[in-house]
Amino acid sequence: RKLTRWSDVSTNRENPDICPGGEEQWKQELLECLTAFMGIYQKKQTEPVRNDLISLLAHGEKTKNMSPQELLGNVILLIVGGNDTTRNSMTASVYGLNKFPEEYAKLKKDHLLIPNMVSEVIRWQTPLAFMRRTALEDVEMHGKTIKKGDQIAMWYVSGNRDEEFWDEDPNRLIIDRKQARNHLSFGFGIHRCVGNRLGELQLRILWEEIFERFSHVEVLEEPALTSGAFVKGYTWMPVICHPKK
């Protein structure tokens, strides 16, 4: 529960529902996160390297001497990237299939569509709406000049709904969409999400297990959405899981 709590806190400093104590509470809870992981990090440094992430950071040539701020930055990146994105995409898959029942029927009929459905859900939801980058050189784009040093927001959610790119209506969830894997939700280039295959695997296994247990997952009401612009997700969505007969 602490990992999900720290994930929520890190991106909701101004949200009174998450941090009613404001910036002071935000700082205290992130300090708690840092203290916990610094202890693990330092312990791993005294042990032989193992195939877990903190151990690899503790022994990596470029990461074994991280400052507390650098460690916290890496930890929060991994917690948010491995938690908010996946759980909101899971919720989106249930919501989207209920919103487009013909697609749910299609999936029930052919479970081999699950991997493509996973990619399509990640496109349709875009769990992190944007990322900010700093231009390293002057760039001309669509008649506009981005100057070296300018900070720009890359709106992944906009690209994932770009009518000029997608062959079929990008505002619809279409689980057998031929271009589904061309989405921007995982970023691009050297900043492409390192956990993209894990996220896809988690969603695939989720739906394989859902079909083993339930005939239908029914959304009862429209969901409540997150309040910030960065994490595009859900805070509440009641469902009924109808067991298989």
Q: Quick one: which H or E segment has residue 97?
A: helix 68-99
Q: Please give the single-letter amino acid code of residue 190.
A: I
Q: What is the dihedral of CA 147, 183, 156, 137, to 10 degrees?
A: -10
Q: What DSSP line would sit under 171-229, residue for residue?
A: TS--TT-TTGGG-STT--GGGS-TTHHHHHHHHHHHHHHHHHHEEEEEE-SPPEE-SSS
For the whole model, what pTM was predicted? 0.86
pLDDT of residue 97: 98
pLDDT value at position 11? 86
Q: What is the pLDDT, as a whole number, of residue 23? A: 93
pLDDT of the residue at 104: 98
Query: Which amino acid appears at position 53 of this protein?
Result: L
How much is the CA Rg of the chain, to the nearest whole Å? 20
* CA-wise closest residue to 125 among 37, 44, 201, 234: 234
pLDDT along the chain (245 residues), means of 10: 89 89 95 96 96 94 94 90 88 98 98 98 96 94 94 95 96 97 92 89 97 98 91 94 94
Answer left, alpha or beta for residue 132, where phi above 0 means left and psi between -120 and 50 means alpha: beta
pLDDT in the model for residue 84: 81
DSSP state at residue 1: -
